[in-house]
Amino acid sequence: MSVAAPAGTKIRESLLSRTAATLVMAVCTVYFLTPIWWLFVGASKSSEQFTSTNPLWFADFDLFANIGDLFAYRDGVFLRWMLNSVLYTGGAALIGTVLAAMCGYALAKYRFRGREVIFNVVLSGVLVPATALALPLFLLFSKVDATNTFWSVFLPSLVNPFGVYLARIYATASVPDELLEAARIDGSGEVRTFFKVATRLMFPALVTIFLFHFVAVWNNFLLPLIMLGDERLFPVTLGLYSWNTQVNQIPELRGLVIIGALLSITPLVVAFLFLQRFWRNGLGAGAVK
């Protein structure tokens, strides 16, 4: 992207804008990463050193001892929360992505009666905030005595209308009709064609839908807050929240909250690192052809 710069002023100008641009990026990097750095440093300290030493630099490195304390606390309830979060978010996002992909694919690739109506209703669903549903869901689940269960959080988390919207765009953009025709001529059934051919072409897009869905469930706080009373069913966010509300009564929880926060975000940060390639391509696929 080099601009032809014959004159000396042009070069100086571009050097100036390069420096300014890099400076903006550097300042923003500090802003975005400092809290996470602070969390990592804080998690590595004993509770005395946490308050008495420089918050942004290490003292004695007690990270692993702290993690041990966290895992041992109340019979390892934290590990239980992590596992719950994996099931709630990973499970719901995985199944939800497949369902959304199927529906979006059908909306993109078949003409059938009521297609536009279905699409518009689902699209309106995108504008309905998930939190608005939490209370009525609680009331409905309590009708059938199913609140405070795994399913009361899991089942509603499967539905992601935005995923259907994206899947329709991606299917339109990345699955050519000629290919589907060819598969039909080869005698492949519609369902088989979808799973064998279309999902491969849509794969980067599916990763994107999965990540969006994953983060949406991961961030949905009101639903488990309203639905769950039993600590052993909590996702990690709700668990750490409940500890944080007790910090004033039980000061030792503060350290555990900090280590727990660090551990809870680590898997997703690592996942982002690995899925970055798909993530970008997938989003791009939504925007280009």
Partner 1 sequence: MTMTQTVSTVDVPEGTGTPHTPGRAVRYGRAVPFFVVPFGLLFILFYLVPIGYAIVQSLYTVERTGTFGPAREVFGGLVQYQRVFEDGPFWTSIGRVLLFGVVQVPVMLGLALLLALLLDSGLVKGRRFFRLAFFVPYAVPGVIAAIMWGFLYSPNLSPLKSITSAVDLLSADFVLWAMANVVTWVYVGYNMLIIYSSLLAIPAEVYEAARLDGAGPVRIAWSIKIPLVMPAIVLTTVFSIIGTLQLLAEPQVFRSFSSAVSSTYTPNLTVYSTSSIPNFNLAAAFSVVLALATFVLSFAVLKFTQRKGAVQ
- Quote the least distance from Cβ 98 to partner 1, whole Å: 9
The interaxial angle of helices 203-219 and 92-109, nearest 10 deg, is: 130
CB of 243 to partner 1, least distance (A): 9
Q: CA 274, CA 214: separation in Å to the nearest integer?
A: 15
- We find the least distance from the C-beta atom of residue 177 to partner 1, in angstroms, to be 4
Which residue lies nearer to partner 1 by CB, 62 or 258? Answer: 258
The C-alpha atoms of residue 12 and residue 219 are separated, in whole angstroms, by: 46
Nearer to partner 1, 62 or 218 (CB): 218
In the complex, the smallest distance separating the C-beta of residue 136 from partner 1, rounded to whole angstroms, is 4
CB of 14 to partner 1, least distance (A): 8
Pick left, alpha or beta for residue 112 (phi over 0 → left; psi -120 to 50 → alpha; otherwise beta). beta
CB of 282 to partner 1, least distance (A): 9
User: Residue 195 CB, nearest distance to partner 1 (Å)?
Assistant: 11
Please identify, using beta-carbon distances, which residue of 62 and 134 lies nearer to partner 1: 134
What is the three-class DSSP state of 221?
Answer: coil
C-beta of residue 253 within 8 angstroms of C-beta of residue 246: yes
Residue 116's alpha-carbon distances to 47, 69, 111, 160, in angstroms, are: 59, 55, 9, 18
Q: Confirm if 212 and 160 have CB atoms less than 8 A apart.
A: yes
Contact 215, 279 (CB under 8 A): no
Position of tokens 């009331």? 139
Contact status, residue 157 vs residue 85, Cβ threshold 8 Å: no
Closest to partner 1 by CB, 62 or 180: 180
65 vs 121, which CB is nearer to partner 1?
A: 121
Nearest CB to partner 1, comparing residues 50 and 210? 50
Contact of 163 with 157, CB cutoff 8 Å:
no
Tell me whether residue 17 or residue 231 sits nearer to partner 1 (CB atom). 17
Residue (of 178, 236, 235, 174) closest to 208 by Cα position: 174
